[in-house]
Structure 1
């Protein structure tokens, strides 16, 4: 673990690099404790219920309903020495509005599911919320055709023919903490479940932090209002190591993208969801 603290140069770490390079306090060869992670949160970070977020040792919160407890108290159950939970905390620090919106929708669905006959049933909304939370990515672009290309699984067009678009026309934000954990030991088939967001002007016209904050704020409003994440069908698979420059070895050639075990063809017609940002 400690040898990772000096790196994180790969492009997929862009939004988390500074926090990861700081590593654990006092140079300890362990991951930061839950209480240490609280320092990474922006001022005013709150749960879906408006309670100040703080990361609490999971041993202190046995048998709690995870999402409902966060909503009502702001306490996020966090295991010690768990990369998975560290990355969850870091996503809270970078996308606090989206995380709070996911939490609010989870809680609303939990309450709705308490009616007779529905108890214990997760349903399509919670499945979609969880998929974005664990494995999600946000594809931000000003181009109207990107979502359709993704829906057709036209990977050669997306990654090869339009390779230059990834400099200024398309930005990707990884918000799934399980995906971030996979980047510690990357492999070719890492795949996210993506929402496509259209924005004007081109993403390259924004500073990265400015674009991230805008996306966080505006996507959160749509999640809370129920305009998206009502079904997992709204999320599109995105093989992340196909993004130009993301695979850590120099094999992103024709043979690389011909691997249909990773860059799989579409199995049916999809109606892609694209969220228009203001």
Structure 2
């Protein structure tokens, strides 16, 4: 495990790695629903379409080779919206994980496409609006965490970057929190995990005594709740949503999770607190002196 330098650029493996899905860790959730460890090569668009139809009601939707988009000429979101076909590059980790997220979060992914299209129709596709920027950030890097009122302190710890307390001292609580990766770029970069791998935390608050369903019903449950949130623009633009989350710190998602690991402030960075108005005034006066 090496630290990721500022100037380095992540490159995913070129080969198919079925062993990723046979070991406990960050990919365990995907391995529970898709026979990825049994595949001898990257799943084809046809196989992924079969999985989509198996897990969702999107029976008229399909995955297709991205060359169809290239030949078509339409904008990516427009192509999906009008054709109900989701283009993907073959033998590509990023697009494979994107397809699997479609299988697990069909309502939210459909809705995100609709929200992108509404923004494009209103503002054009040249420049991304704030709403589209937030949608993309969630789409690529989002991690959904459902918390009850009695667990709210965990959310406060995470947003305040109290990493050792949140991840290490309260590690047993994470089995109840059921963190779920939504961002497919998270999965892609986890194929070669590095110190610096960070997702974006999206919180969904639950009633205190609500039950979190197990298995695929749990994903359906979160998909319904997330879709209800996405139509609320104020939530997308809320700065408390999509706060940083060091992915390798989530209990069970990485092997080396002792107390010393969480003490590495180059990865588990303390939060930078903005100075209050009096401190800012003093600093300004000092700069002028």
Task: Establish whether TM, by shorter chain, passes 0.5.
Answer: yes
Question: Which residue number in structure 1 is paired with residue 57 of structure 2?
Answer: 44
Question: Which residue number in structure 2 is paired with residue 16 of structure 1?
Answer: 30
SS at match of 1:192: strand
Q: Matches of 1:178 and 1:3 in 2, distance apart?
A: 17
Q: Deviations over 1:17-36 (max 9, x none)?
A: 13143544xxxx43122222
Give the alignment of 1:13-92 within 5 angstroms. Answer: 13-17=27-31, 18-21=33-36, 23-24=38-39, 29-41=40-52, 42-45=55-58, 52-62=60-70, 63-92=73-102
Q: Matches of 1:11 and 1:199 in 2, distance apart?
A: 26
TM-score when normalising by structure 2: 0.80
Question: Which residue number in structure 1 is paired with residue 279 of structure 2?
Answer: none
Question: Which residue number in structure 1 is paired with residue 199 of structure 2?
Answer: 192
SS at match of 2:156: helix
Give the alignment of 1:33-182 within 5 angstroms. Answer: 33-41=44-52, 42-45=55-58, 52-62=60-70, 63-114=73-124, 120-142=126-148, 143-168=151-176, 170-182=177-189
Question: Which residue number in structure 1 is paired with residue 271 of structure 2?
Answer: 266
Q: How many residues align?
A: 253
Q: Matches of 1:59 and 1:225 in 2, distance apart?
A: 34
Question: Which residue number in structure 1 is paired with residue 260 of structure 2?
Answer: 255
After superposition, the Cα gap between the structure-2 partners of 1:40 and 1:221, relative to the gap in structure 1 and judged at 3 Å, is: same
SS at match of 1:238: strand
Q: Matches of 1:73 and 1:95 in 2, distance apart?
A: 19
Q: Matches of 1:7 and 1:202 in 2, distance apart?
A: 33
Q: Matches of 1:261 and 1:203 in 2, distance apart?
A: 37
Q: Matches of 2:89 and 2:16 in 1, distance apart?
A: 18
Contact 1:171 1:203 in 2 (8 A): no
Query: How large is the Cα RMSD of the aligned pairs?
Result: 2.3
TM-score when normalising by structure 1: 0.83
Question: Could you tell which deviates more after superposition, 225-234 or 57-66?
Answer: 225-234
Q: Deviations over 1:166-222 (max 9, x none)?
A: 122x11000111111122222232211110112235687531432221110121122
Gaps of 5+ in 2: 1-14, 275-289
Q: Deviations over 1:84-137 (max 9, x none)?
A: 1111110000111111121111111111113xxxx6120211111001111111
- Deviation at residue 228 of structure 1 after TM alignment: 2.3
The structure number with the bigger radius of gyration is 2
After superposition, the Cα gap between the structure-2 partners of 1:243 and 1:34, relative to the gap in structure 1 and judged at 3 Å, is: same
Gaps of 5+ in 1: 47-51, 270-278
Q: Deviations over 1:14-66 (max 9, x none)?
A: 33113143544xxxx431222221011134228xxxxx321111112213311
Any runs of at least 4 consecutive aligned residues in structure 1 with deviations exceeding 6 A, and if so which? none
